[in-house]
Structures are given as C-alpha cells and as structure tokens.
Chain A
Amino acid sequence: MALKTWKEIENKGGLITDAGNAEEYETGSWRSHRPIIDMDRCTHCMICWVYCPDSSIQVKEGKVTGIDLAHCKGCGICAHECPRKAISMVEEASAKEGVH
C-alpha cells in the first residue's frame, strides 16, 4: 500500500472514517510466542474466542479451526483462559520450525 503525502490525506488529525480497518494492519510480526491448539483437548467452548483481544481465533460453523497468525500478537490470554488447557504458548522461532 503506497503511503500518502501529507497533501493527499483527506482527514484531519489522523481521524479514521472507515470503521473496522484494524484488519488491514497486520500485527502478527509482534508475536514472540505462538498459541498452539491441541484439537484433541479442545471442546469448542469458545472461551478463547470471547477473550481474544485481536479477534484472532478462527471459527467455522461453531468450531474453532485455528489462529489468525497475521493478526495474533501472541499475548497468551487464550492459553490462560482455556478451561481445558488445550492451548500452549510456544516460542515463535521454534513454532516456525515446527519444533514443539
């Protein structure tokens, strides 16, 4: 996305007029720890989905299907809240290598 010059910015004072644009800003690179869901333990209770501050729990037809890694900042709230201890936080470097 090309950055605008100061003359091209229509709104004043950094005002954002298009709602819901947080999706455009990918914060996944901030993550130092990645949540890994053990699907054998998960009961799809949706507690993680409720608590995730970045709406990064992916759900399809009432079932948790994974994590939106483009936006998950790795805060670990999902792992902390999960009543089944189905989510573990793994260091990003080893998660990338698949070593966990």
Chain B
Amino acid sequence: MVLQKVKGNPVALDGDRAVAEAMRQMNPDVVAAYPITPQTEIVMRFSEFVANGEVDTEFIPVESEHAAMSACIGASAAGGRVQTATAGAGLAFMWEVLWVASGTRLPIVMHLVNRSLSAPLNIHCDHSDSMGARDAGWIQLYDETVQEAYDNAIQALRIAEHPDVMLPTLHALDGFILGHGLERLELLPDDMVREFVGVYKPEHPLLDVDHPVTYGPMDLTDYFFEHKRQQAAAMEKALEIIPQIGEEYGTLTGRYYGLMEGYRLEDAEFATVALGSTAGTIKTVVDELRDQGVKAGLLKLRCFRPFPATILAKALGDKKAIAVLDRSLSFGSQCGPLFFEVVTALFTHSFNPKVVNYAYGLGGRDTVPEQIHQIYRDLIKIDSKELTGPPLRYLGLRE
C-alpha cells in the first residue's frame, strides 16, 4: 500500500499541549494520572477533553502517582489501551509499580515531562527522574523538539503494543524547555492518527470471563529468572521494531525516526552524544563550527532503552574525541548513566576513542551555545593531549 504523505496542520503549541493533543487523537480507553509540575498542563488539558466528550476515555483522577500507575496496570490487564503522564517526583513515586507494569508486560504509554528530583526542591528539567527508572524495564524515548514530543507520543503506543514487544513505553520531554516552550509543529488529522494507532486487540484481557487468566501470580525460584530473560529478549526485539515503526510513521508524515540521529556525524572528528532538547542547541553549534572548518558532529540518541549499542559504536568508533552529555548525576559513580552506556558500547565493539563526560543542566540550569563550544574546544585539546583529567566534567557550573 502506498500511503499519501499528509500535509500536516501547522500550529504553535507547547510540548504539554502537543502531547495532550496526541492523547486526544489516540483516544485511549483509560487515563489515570495525577498532576505535577511541569506535566500538569497535559492532565489539565486532557481532562477538559474528557469533560467535553471529545474522547471516550475513562479518566481516573487518582490520589497519587503510585495509585496512577497501579490503576493503569489494572486497566491494561483488563484489556484497555492505557496512558498516563507524570514528572520528577511523580515518576519516583511510581517506581515500585513501574516494575510491575513491565514485568507483567503491559503496553502502557507514559508521557514523562522531565523534572529534577528533590531535595533541594526544584521543578525544572534534568533527567534524574527517567534515569532513576533506567532499569525498570520501560522503553525510553527522548524528544528533541515539541514536534518530536507529539510524534514520539503517537509512536510510543505502536511500539508498546507490538506483539513482539509488549513493554510499557515512555517518551521524555524536557520540562519547561519543551513542556512549556511554544514551538511550531504539524499535527496529523485525527482520522490519520486513529488509523495509525489502529484498534488494540489484547491477547488475554482480564475481563474476558470466558477465558479466565491470572495476571501477576507468585513466581518463585523456578521460573522468575526465565520470565526476566523473556523481558530482556523483548527489549532486544524492540531494537528492530522501533525503527520499523519510525519508518512507517515517516512514510505517513515525511518525518522518519530511527534509534538515533547522526547530525553531520559521518565525517566528524569530534562528536557529542546527547539526549533531549540540548541536541537542538548542539546542532546550531555544530553548524557554526563546520563554518569555521572544525569537523564537529552530534549523535542524538532517541532511544535510550533499549540501548542501540552496535549502531552507536559503529557511528562513533572512528572519532578522535567524544563528549557524552549527562543531564543527571549518579552520586558516587565515576560518570553519568549515558556515559557508561556509550563507553561500554565502544569498548565491547573494539573501539577505543577518547571519551569524556559532561554533567550539565541540573535543576534546569541553562545550557547555552557557548558552553557547547567549550566542549568542542576541550575535545580538540583532549585529542592533542593538551587537556587531561578525570572523565567527568561539569558544564555550566560555578567552580
């Protein structure tokens, strides 16, 4: 079937509202969510859609995020198409039940608006929340722009529900920067989104009383390990499925999605690796450096879980020096969580370029082009051995 590329409807929306629009168009059966800054606008806007009868969704206004995720798990096991949204401490409060969602293989979709974790109290963006849920068995996509927040929100559903995947999926948009930042984007027509997401046919809905099943049984020493290995296999499978769905979405919209995006990376000598909105800032700097004759490039990682180690290693292996940007700290660790993944991928694929780590943007600290320029200046000095030191550096911090 040849699909006609859709002429999108250009609008100006902030990330939260773009996500709420995507949710309206996907029309989930159940949304259980608790409002928390900077995600509040998603829940506020979506509850208006419910109140106005613009969606068929059963909206459950729960008393906490732990309850939100628990309600999502029940509704998903029952056979519904289920979504939620949260941020920062909200995700942390869901932590226990995140594992239940993934371990039970429920294709719940979460829209996460990244927020730092207290204390001290801070409502602004960093990736401490999603990195805290790094090992919880959820697929994690990161958005660079409001357009990507909208596009990833829709694709997340297809990824989660793919029969070979069946894993809960979250996409993360940087709090305030994308969540409250107004950008131009193109929305798909409602019927096109509904066609793309299709109708969810759960294999074993709990409400099918003629075919009774048990979800979440006791699973002891004899089978628990095998079930965890199944989960790991589903993540491996998702590495194949995510680009397939990104390709299908691209055929529809002209916006193609893979596991990562190389920006002027192929012939680059000096590369950065980043998640989220900072990739946009880096692209600007890469262009400026290229104009000055510096062979700079960017690897923007769209998919952090599962981690696309092989394609990443091949894309970075020949670089002279690489900087990995981490928007979170792993206290007491040598480096940030993204750095470890990148270095492990390089090492296990027999590449040994110089790699350094920059912790940046904690608590919403602005990351401006000059700081990115500094990183590339550092990389050039690291390559010529003028600059040495521990792998972890702090960007935009008053020393």
Q: Which of B211, B225, B227, B229 contacts A13 (CB 8 A)?
A: B227
Would A9 and B230 be within 8 Å (CB), given that A14-B104, A14-B219 are in contact? Answer: yes
Are A15 and B213 in contact, with the CB atoms below 8 A? yes
Q: Classify chain B: how many residues form its interface, as a range.
A: 20 to 34
Are A13 and B105 in contact, with the CB atoms below 8 A? yes
Would A6 and B229 be within 8 Å (CB), given that A13-B105, A17-B211 are in contact? Answer: yes
Would A16 and B213 be within 8 Å (CB), given that A3-B222, A6-B233 are in contact? Answer: yes
CA distance A13 to B166 in the complex (A): 10
User: How many residue pairs at the A-B interface have CB separations less than 8 Å?
Assistant: 52
The B interface, classified by DSSP as helix, strand, loop or mixed, is loop
Q: Is B214 an interface position by the 8 A CB rule? A: yes
Per-position 1/0 for A1-18, Cβ under 8 A of B: 001111001011111110
Chain A residues with Cβ below 8 Å from B226 are 4-6, 9
Q: Which of A3, A6, A17, A19 contacts B230 (CB 8 A)?
A: A6
Per-position 1/0 for A57-90, Cβ under 8 A of B: 0000000000000000000000000000000000
Per-position 1/0 for B220-235, Cβ under 8 A of A: 0011011101110110
Least CB separation from A4: chain B residue: B226
Would A14 and B222 be within 8 Å (CB), given that A6-B227, A9-B227 are in contact? Answer: no
Chain B residues with Cβ below 8 Å from A4 are 223, 226
Per-position 1/0 for B199-217, Cβ under 8 A of A: 0000010000001111111
Per-position 1/0 for B355-395, Cβ under 8 A of A: 00000000000000000000000000000000000000000
Q: Which of B106, B211, B227, B229 contacts A14 (CB 8 A)?
A: B227
Chain A residues with Cβ below 8 Å from B222 are 3
Are B223 and A13 in contact, with the CB atoms below 8 A? no
Least CB separation from B213: chain A residue: A17
CA distance A5 to B229 in the complex (A): 10
Are B204 and A15 in contact, with the CB atoms below 8 A? yes
Are A16 and B217 in contact, with the CB atoms below 8 A? yes
Would A12 and B213 be within 8 Å (CB), given that A3-B222, A3-B223, A6-B233 are in contact? Answer: no
Per-position 1/0 for B85-121, Cβ under 8 A of A: 0000000000000000001111000000000000000
Are B105 and A12 in contact, with the CB atoms below 8 A? yes
CA distance A76 to B103 in the complex (A): 34
Are A14 and B223 in contact, with the CB atoms below 8 A? yes
Chain B residues with Cβ below 8 Å from A15 are 104-105, 204, 213-215
Are B233 and A13 in contact, with the CB atoms below 8 A? no
CA distance A14 to B216 in the complex (A): 7
CA distance A16 to B227 in the complex (A): 12
A23 to chain B, nearest CB (A): 14
B207 to chain A, nearest CB (A): 14
CA distance A6 to B222 in the complex (A): 11
Per-position 1/0 for B180-210, Cβ under 8 A of A: 0000000000000000000000001000000
Would A19 and B227 be within 8 Å (CB), given that A12-B105, A13-B103, A14-B219 are in contact? Answer: no
CA distance A3 to B231 in the complex (A): 18
B164 to chain A, nearest CB (A): 10
Are B204 and A17 in contact, with the CB atoms below 8 A? yes
Q: A residues bordering B, Cβ < 8 Å? A: 3-6, 9, 11-17, 19
Having A12-B230, A14-B216, A15-B204, one finds 11 other A-B pairs with CB under 8 Å, namely A3-B223, A6-B233, A9-B227, A9-B230, A13-B104, A13-B231, A14-B103, A14-B217, A14-B227, A16-B213, A17-B211
Q: B residues bordering A, Cβ < 8 Å? A: 103-106, 166, 204, 211-217, 219, 222-223, 225-227, 229-231, 233-234
Q: List 17 A-B contacts (CB under 8 A).
A: A6-B225, A6-B230, A9-B230, A11-B204, A12-B105, A12-B230, A12-B234, A13-B104, A13-B106, A13-B227, A14-B104, A14-B216, A15-B105, A15-B215, A16-B214, A17-B213, A19-B212
